[in-house]
Amino acid sequence: MSVLPANEPLANPRAPFYRRLPVVSHFNKSVGLQRGMLVAGLVLTGLFVLTAAFAPLLAPYGFAQLADADGNFPTQEAPGGKHLLGTTVGGYDVLSRVVWGAQTALFVIVVAVLMSIVIGVILGLVSGYLGGWLDRILVVIADAVYAFPSLLVAIVMAIVISGGQSSLIGGVLAAGTAITLVFIPQYFRVIRAETVRLKAEPFVESAKVVGASNIRIMSRHIYKNATRTLPLIFTLNASEAILTLAGLGFLGFGIEPSSAAEWGFDLNKALADTTSGIWWTGLFPGLAIVMTVVGLTLVGESINDLNDPRLRGRKAAGAKGAPGPSTAAAQAAIAADVRGL
């Protein structure tokens, strides 16, 4: 999917701060199907975040709990009774594993995406602004990493960092670092392309004339303009991070079940149950992955559509006499030219 920079602002600069936030401003500009996609994505993403935040309160048992006051949990028990979603072959409560798995996924998303944003943005700014031999070397390295399958790179990094399995903190850091290496080239390429375009703009030339340093120009003048598409890339990479984490767990390179709950690991253990007609051990972790990824993807796709004036819908018929976004922007541009003359 292509990431298109905004050609006109989504929010009025004079509007209150909360109305200029990325998701809020996009919601105010959305209509029809675009708004429906955005709302559906926000609802699914909100459920995921709330489940992760309140996992200790929502989960009836611990992620590795095998017994309660009545004794050991039965293995492969059908949904119902004390275990609303049934139990696994190891005796774990499926509902508890699904709820605690959301918390693990959120931890990995935060670690991976934040690390990749920081490193990718810094490298993209430096490479695009300075150019020269440093730019060529960084571009070659980024293209080389980007050419490899992301899951393969994550598997190699997980083995190197933690030997394939580890505790909660070690597993989150290992998975986050592995996914970070995959995501850095994406942020690097986007920020570098924007920096190369922006450094030829008149305001950058003016900053050079008044004696501003390269660091000040990159941090104060280029950074804010080059990072407008980061909310979109964040949502798309968050969904990809969940899939990569699930892939690592499914292949046996994830977090140990006694250290944390992880949806991919639970799917791996549910493979043998499907031939026996035991459907609940794999259905609910799989649904959790699908719903979370769909929610994040819908948010990302909606933001991408609303960032592109060619795809953005017009306001509804309540303002028939008012000019549409494109018309208003054209009129503003003409007025600015007239004032300049």
What confidence score (pLDDT) does residue 337 get? 44
Q: What is the pTM of this model?
A: 0.75
17-308: CATH topology is MetI-like fold (1.10.3720)
| Three-class secondary structure of residue 164 per DSSP | coil
What confidence score (pLDDT) does residue 334 get? 40
Who contacts 10 (Cβ-Cβ below 8 Å, separation ≥6)?
25, 26, 29, 306, 307
8 A C-beta contact, residue 178 and residue 161? yes
Phi-psi region of 67 (alpha: psi -120 to 50; beta: other; left: phi over 0): beta
Reading the block at residue 307, the tokens are 């960032």
Instruction: Enumerate the domain spans of the chain.
Output: 17-308
8 A C-beta contact, residue 208 and residue 218? no
What confidence score (pLDDT) does residue 11 get? 52
What confidence score (pLDDT) does residue 100 get? 92
Reading the block at residue 36, the tokens are 């429906």
Who contacts 111 (Cβ-Cβ below 8 Å, separation ≥6)?
172, 173, 175, 176, 177, 180
Phi-psi region of 112 (alpha: psi -120 to 50; beta: other; left: phi over 0): alpha
What confidence score (pLDDT) does residue 338 get? 42
What confidence score (pLDDT) does residue 166 get? 59
Strands 67-68 and 71-72: antiparallel
What is the rounded CA–CA span in Å between residue 277 and residue 272? 10
What is the rounded CA–CA span in Å between residue 284 and residue 292? 12
What confidence score (pLDDT) does residue 326 get? 44
Closest CA to 231 of 299, 143, 179: 299
In the predicted model, residues of the chain with pLDDT beneath 70 are 1-32, 162-168, 170-171, 229, 254, 257, 305-341
What is the rounded CA–CA span in Å between residue 76 and residue 33? 42
Reading the block at residue 334, the tokens are 């003409």
Question: In angstroms, what is the C-alpha Rg of the chain?
Answer: 24
8 A C-beta contact, residue 178 and residue 248? yes
